Amino acid sequence: MNFWWVNHKQTHKQEISGGYLWSPTVNRDGTRNQTYLNMSRTLTGDMVFSYAHAEIKAVGYVSAICIDAKRPDAFGDIGEQWSQNGWLVPVNWTILTTPISPRTKFSKIAHLLPVKYSPIRPPGIGNQKFYLTEISQALADVLLKLISEVNAGVRFHIQ
CATH of the domain at 89: 3.10.590.10
Calpha distance 34→133 (Å, rounded): 9
CA atoms within 13 A on the CB side of 58: 23
155 part of a folded domain: no
Question: Looking at residue 91, what DSSP letter applies?
Answer: E
Q: What is the mean pLDDT of residues 144-153?
A: 92
CB 53 within 8 A of CB 104: no
pTM (2 d.p.): 0.95
Q: What is the mean pLDDT of residues 135-158?
A: 90
* Interval 34-80: pLDDT, tens: 999 999 999 999 999 999 999 999 999 999 999 999 999 999 988 78
Most confident region among 75-79, 124-128, 134-138 by mean pLDDT: 134-138
Q: Which residues, 6 or more positions from 129, have their beta carbon under 8 angstroms from its beta carbon?
A: 35
158 part of a folded domain: no
119 part of a folded domain: yes
* Interval 89-105: pLDDT, tens: 999 999 999 999 999 99
CB 21 within 8 A of CB 132: yes
Domain that holds residue 131: 3-150
